[in-house]
A and B are shown apart, each in its own frame.
Chain A
Amino acid sequence: QPASMNAFELISLNRGLNLDNLFET
């Protein structure tokens, strides 16, 4: 449940940075 997570875990798990996409150009 997202509400039971801490915020940084939520950001980390949801690929908040999208940097993976750099390698799929």
Chain B
Amino acid sequence: MGCLPTKHVRDSPRSLGVHEAVAVSAESSCEKVDLPDFLNIATGTPFTVSEVEALYDLFRKISNSVIKDGLIHKEEFHVALFRSKSKKKQNLFGDRVFDLFDQKGNGVIEFGEFIRSLSVFHPDTPEEQKAAFAFRLYDLRQTGFIERHELKEMVLALLDESNLDITSDAVEMIVDTTFDQADVNRDGRIDQEEWNVFTKDNPYVLRNMSLPYLKDITMIFPSFVIHSEVSEAD
């Protein structure tokens, strides 16, 4: 049997104030490991402390897949997203999602950043938050607008990464149609306000901003349940 961490905090952040947050430490017979402050990290997210603990199992797996330093590097993120180390390293959407998860912009995703970013994709998170995240995602050059050439670039990237076969004329038509619908003031770019209206009128465009997996985290990671039972026995 391997080294199992001892967890001391089991309460939901919804039942405790932030000031009561207790740093979590872990000890095992093999090594001493500093665990994140699960309670503080869960606060302000739709996740319970138990769910954050379960997601820590996932985080550890991803963050130690290539460089074993407990941080998710872009290469590790790509491996997790595309399920293959041989897949090309460049991917427009993968790179954009990584950059948004890397909130400090220091080239790695820390556990707190991982949880806060994933919380946007929780099915219970308000649509407004999902729309705001999606806007930042699609605003490729971070100009505060989704521009026509950015949208075309995304469509072409999607076609490149999928089996969809669409002619260049059809791509132009798709982009034109989208701007007809979303660019209300006809200035050739979609601003945040136009985006908010557009996503309210067309909520299906935010479908990729919800991950049903996040509703049932502890069922997906049964190893966490084993850890917890050991902890409570302690």
Query: A residues near B, CB below 8 A?
Result: 2-25
- Is the CB–CB distance between A16 and B174 below 8 Å? no
Taking residues whose C-beta sits less than 8 angstroms from the other chain, chain B's interface range is 35 or more
For B208, give the chain A residue with the smallest CB separation: A12
A-B contact pairs, 12 of them (CB 8 A): A4-B177, A6-B177, A6-B181, A6-B205, A9-B202, A17-B97, A20-B211, A21-B80, A22-B62, A22-B80, A22-B81, A23-B220
Alpha-carbon gap, A22 to B147, bound state (A): 29
Which residue of A6, A14, A21 is within 8 Å of B162 (Cβ)? Answer: A14
Segment of B18-26, B28-36, B38-46, B151-159 engaged in the interface with chain A:
B151-159
CB-CB under 8 A for A11 and B154, given A21-B82, A23-B213: yes
Contacts of A18 in B (CB 8 A): 81-82, 93-94
Q: Decide yes or no whether B83 CB sits under 8 A from chain A.
A: yes
Query: B residues near A, CB below 8 A?
Result: 58, 61-62, 65, 80-83, 93-94, 97, 121, 137-138, 151, 154-155, 158, 161-162, 164, 166, 170, 173-175, 177-178, 181-182, 198, 202, 204-209, 211, 213, 220
CB-CB under 8 A for A12 and B81, given A19-B211, A23-B220: no
Contacts of B162 in A (CB 8 A): 14
For B170, give the chain A residue with the smallest CB separation: A3
Alpha-carbon gap, A8 to B181, bound state (A): 11
Contacts of B202 in A (CB 8 A): 6, 8-9
- Is the CB–CB distance between B205 and A8 below 8 Å? yes
- Is the CB–CB distance between B208 and A11 below 8 Å? yes
Closest 10 CB pairs of A and B: A8-B205, A3-B170, A6-B178, A12-B208, A7-B178, A23-B213, A18-B81, A12-B207, A16-B93, A7-B155
- Is the CB–CB distance between B213 and A11 below 8 Å? no
CB-CB under 8 A for A2 and B170, given A24-B83, A25-B80: yes
Q: Apart from A3-B173, A6-B177, A11-B154, what 8 extra A-B contacts exist at CB < 8 Å?
A: A6-B181, A8-B182, A11-B158, A13-B207, A16-B158, A17-B137, A17-B208, A19-B81
